[in-house]
Structure 1
Amino acid sequence: MSQFDSIRPFYDAEANAAIRKIVDDPMLEAMMSFTFPTDTREHWKDLMVHTHSLRDFQVNFIYPGVQKVLEKSSEGLSTGGFEQLKSNTAYLFISNHRDIILDTSLLNSCLYENGLVLTTSAIGDNLIQKPFLHTLSKLNRNFAIKRGLQGRALLESSQMASAYIKKSLLSENRSVWTAQREGRTKDGNDATHRGVLKMLTLSEEGANGFGYFEKIKVVPISISYEYDPTDVLKMPEWLAKSRDEKYVKGENEDFLNLLRGIIGTKKRIHLQVNGVLDKEIAEISKMELSQPDKLSKLAECIDQKIWTGYKLWPSNYIAHDLLYGDNEYESFYTQDEKKSFEKRMNEKVNTKNEFLIKSFLAMYANPVNNQKNALSINSPASQL
């Protein structure tokens, strides 16, 4: 057995047998009916049972599915920065995280369209408890991050994930996607957790764990949804926090979030590549700082890149003006767009609950504040 068998995707040699196990699953049939509405069941099943690699599965079935999701539930995907990436090169993509499935699926679609190396992508094992989803995730080249661990078990799991990521990047020339923090950002206030960066260094031998980042190519990714398809599903957790209560997820909550992310309204989406951090990492490495402080510096750098790379939509500017009770950004949206946003909010949020209204608005407004802060820090005047 490989040391990574408990978390890794399927090998190509395992792909066909795995496909045959799920080819008659009702959930797969529903997915394929959505993806290929004019195709016969017999035709797509025949294509599927003759698929023998993860790439073919992703290109022939996952990629068309993502395109259909964009067609049915969005007003299109725009991109920027992919020209900065080189073919046949592995990157560690560190991204803000809005949607369980789409964030990484959209990135892989763009990498495929640009002739770049596809990723192996981290996913919490809490999201793939159902046998069908577990198999599908491994076919889609996901590797599992074990959740809910403590103490020694958590350390050992983190070490395994770190070693798998290092092997993927440096031995297999396979790009890796990971979120900048554990779980999705619930309030739109994206921040890179130093613990994620520390986990990445655990496989590096010697005292200078930060040196690992000089061996790989780190690329911050910004993803911006005009409408968050799961915004309303975050309200129970907001309420619990407002009451200083521990939030306990419902039995099928993760699965419902997954489905809502796929089929929920998104309007426009933008995915921005924010360059390779070779220069920034080299500069941090030279600083006379402790490793924890270097990780903090890198986290700050990734945050600045992600915040600068946001595509701010009318929804963000409208929410900001409504939250702060002013018209600072009124030139960035029309009154019709404002009315549409307010209508959507009033339909989804209990308007008698001021806390929920403010939380909903802050989720869309925080990216405006973060980008403003990032641009001010990077402005020529701030360097004087």
Structure 2
Amino acid sequence: MQKFDSIRPFYDSEVNEALCSSLNHPMMKAMMNFTFPETEEEVWKDQLSKTHSIRDFQINFVYQSIKKILENSSDGLTTSGFETLEPNTSYLFISNHRDIILDTSLLNVSLFDHGLVMTASAIGDNLVKKDFVLKLSKLNRNFLVQRGLTPRELLQSSKLMSEYICHLVSKENRSVWIAQREGRTKDGNDATHQGVLKMLGMASEEKEVTDYFRKLKIVPVSISYEYDPTDALKMPQLLANAKDEVYIKDKNEDFVTLLSGIIGQKKRIHIHVGAVIDKELDAIKADNDNTNKKIQALANVIDDSILQHYKLWPTNFIAYDILNNTKQFSHLYTSDEKQLFQRRFEMRIDTDNDTLREGFLAMYANPVVNKMKYQNAE
């Protein structure tokens, strides 16, 4: 399977060497000291040097790290829908995307806790420029999405990734996580990009693309954080977009965002996994006569699941009411919760700047707007 070498995570046969070469890296020490504060350095180094598989690394180290992150920077993780999934079965999880590392890590913690197959997860190669971060991502079963390509290179890259995802799900019985669109949602509007579905369909050998999508066992995922720890960091890009300017990231911006997501306060977090998209594909196949229409219809089905099952928090209702100068949802939050949100809001951005003010509030308010299209937001 050498064709996937440029994007795949480590094979188990490569894990021990990668870990042994990273034992003395400052970031590995920081990660282990954070996760196991009571443990002597020699002890965790010894354990790492005896680790020979991604699963062992994930369960014995990464899982513990994520639990520690939840303990230190959240009020806990709740889940729903996992009981509908089958053990020893691979799925393609298509998820809304809020945080670079935590979205996938929290899904894998939840899958492990429910005795289900954990995922290989897509990550942009722009996020793993540093050698250690690349190594760590490959140890955590991430595969690379290549960014900044020419149209011709993008076509080749998309085909390779499509084939790799197909290989993982159908040949290795490995679940896969992929975001519903490129990059994290900056404005709270979660929508599936048709380009992602077209990429997935490239590996199809079926005459009918909906039959191929059924084989992938697509499961929509909704993840919501009461507080987005990177909310203020998303504002410069929104400001540039409002001015019709091209946004250029600072050199270390992705790394700062990654770190902020891990250590920043999130309060409560909820993950819902939807039902496998199956019968809906029959209707899509019957109702649409060309592939583009079928892909659009599938994107709509995924969006409906993600938005309907998105967990709304007091912060979402508070932001909606402030933004719209209303008290429509005041029965769903306390004055203390509103005061806390306003204090955070005023500390993190320049509230005199209307674009920043509205952008920050809309990020939290838009999930309410989107959910109201389906039902009473309560």
TM-score range, shorter chain: over 0.9
Kindly tell me the number of residue pairs found equivalent between the two proteins. 377
Match of residue 380 from structure 1: none
Normalised TM-score (structure 1): 0.96
| Deviation per residue, 1:314-345 (Å, 9 max, x gap) | 00000000111101101110011101100100
* Contact residue 217 and residue 276 of structure 1 kept, 8 A: yes
Task: Show the counterpart of 2:216.
Answer: 216
Match of 2:265 in 1: 265
1:1-384 to 2 correspondences below 5 Å: 2-205=2-205, 207-375=207-375
Instruction: Out of 205-214 and 306-315, give the one that drifted further.
Output: 205-214
For 1:292, the aligned partner's letter is N
Code of the residue aligned with 1:279 in structure 2: it is: K
CA distance in 2 between counterparts of 1:237 and 1:335 reads 31
Which segments of 5 or more consecutive residues in structure 1 lack a partner in the other structure? Answer: 377-384
Quote the Cα distance in structure 2 between the aligned partners of 1:189 and 1:289: 29
Tell me, which stretches of 5 or more residues in structure 2 are unaligned?
Answer: none
List per-residue Cα deviations over 1:121-140 (Å, max 9, x = no partner): 00000001100001000000
The separation in 2 between residues aligned to 1:351 and 1:134, in whole angstroms, is 37
- Contact preservation (8 Å) 2:90, 2:169: yes
Cα distance in 2 for residues equivalent to 1:374 and 1:284: 20
CA distance in 2, matches of 1:82, 1:205: 30
TM-score by length of 2: 0.98
Q: Which one is further off, 183-192 or 280-289? A: 280-289
Deviation of 1:304 after TM superposition, in Å, equals 0.7
AA of the residue aligned to 2:184: R
**1:375 partner SS:** coil
The percentage of aligned residue pairs carrying the same residue is: 56
3-state DSSP of counterpart to 1:55: helix
Q: Is the 2:214–2:277 contact (alpha carbons within 8 Å) kept by the matching residues of 1? A: no
Deviations 1:210-259, CA, capped at 9 Å, x for gaps:
33102121100000100000001011111111111100000000000000
Structure 1: 4+ residue segments shifted above 6 A: none
The C-alpha deviation readout for 1:105-158, integer Å capped at 9, x for no partner, is 000001001110010000000001100001000000000000011211000000
Match of 1:382 in 2: none
1:206 Cα deviation after fit: 5.4
CA contact (8 A) 1:214 1:282 kept: no
- Equivalent residue letter for 2:131: P
Query: CA separation in 2, counterparts of 1:375 and 1:172?
Result: 40
